[in-house]
Amino acid sequence: MNAVKQVAALKRGVWINILLLAALFVYLLSMAFPGSEAVRLRNAVLFNESDAPFFDWTPLALPTSFKAEQSRPDPRLTSIIRREGIDKLPDDWQKSLALSSFLTQHAAERGDISADLYTAVERIQQGYGACSDFTQAYLGLAHAADLFAREWAFSFDGYGGHGHALIEVFDRQQQVWKMLDVYNNFYVVDEQGHPLAALQFRQALANQDTANLKIVKAGLGRPGYVHEEKLWAYYQKSVPQWYLWWGNAEQTASDDTWIRAAGKVSVHAAELMGMARGYQPVLYALSLSENFELRAEMHRLKAKLLWILIGAGALIITLLIQLWMLRRAQRRTKREAYFRSALR
């Protein structure tokens, strides 16, 4: 094949490769709409599963894979803790409730925030924030208040974007976990008045053994529900799809230069950068017989996304080789044209 024909063939190959990459991108984009499906894709990439005993640990025996916050608390956060007097309270549970109250006192449901930790804390005070914004702010402020908290979530659509997020705080004085729904401004107690842990509450719902449980308002601000029976029904629907985010390092992620830069583009770009930088925690779904097919579907979706990534990678490598070969062929064509003209 002469150089001219080789250049033409390589150009066709380059355009075919570009079209294939574009088609793959459009297909992936179609999978991410509406927004709840984009959440499902993210969750599929991060998806893991385990049964209840796996979650039965304390901060004193922290799993090595749990991405716990290790940074020195930011002065912007510690100043809030001191200003509100939270650091002066005598025990972890009182601190936990005071922190929840600080966040809910101005809650007005003016819209989602989807930003870094510091922006979330600021805008919550202006009445903005969804449940995930409240848990994000709580985790960051809990670290500044010398509390250990972790984030539970559940969904209604197969681990997609229709769901809710809540907090669980470890009470060092009583050596137990205690659940707080910060956004909805409540916690749950048993007939002795003891606050329940997240999985204790979920199990009571699963067993429909809630007659002796009581919803208690956690702090200042509106309750996130009007009718208590609707709150019970809402949580009852959540039973099969609970999962734990395997990390609480919100400050570290918000302080990362690359994640901050990506966050200026979109929240999804920031999440992707967080994954690339290793700051985005994975999630562990509670493995149950009733959610077997939902979990299997997430594993299938995870494998599908992996094959898309492999395919895109192969196309990009091929494209780079094609461009290199095209450039060489074009130089060869120019040289041959030069020699032909010189010989005339």
Residue 36 three-state SS: helix
Residue 298: count other Cβ atoms within 10 Å of its Cβ.
Answer: 25
Structure tokens at 323: 């461009």
Model pLDDT, residue 208: 94
- Is the N-terminal amide bond of 34 cis, ω within 30° of 0? yes
Model pLDDT, residue 166: 98
Model pLDDT, residue 4: 77
Structure tokens at 218: 């956690």
Sign for the pseudo-dihedral over CA of 164, 143, 177, 83 = negative
Q: What is the pLDDT along the chain (344 residues), one digit of tens a residue?
A: 577 788 889 999 999 999 999 999 999 999 999 989 999 999 999 999 999 999 999 999 999 999 999 999 999 999 999 999 999 999 999 999 999 999 999 999 999 999 999 999 999 999 999 999 999 999 999 999 999 999 999 999 999 999 999 999 999 999 999 999 999 999 999 999 999 999 999 999 999 999 999 999 999 999 998 899 999 999 999 999 999 999 999 999 999 999 999 998 888 899 999 999 999 999 999 999 999 999 999 999 999 999 999 999 999 999 999 999 999 888 888 776 666 676 66
Model pLDDT, residue 332: 84
Model pLDDT, residue 337: 67
Total number of residues shown for the chain: 344
Contact indicator for 182, 167 with CB cutoff of 8 Å? yes
Model pLDDT, residue 170: 98
Structure tokens at 301: 């979706």
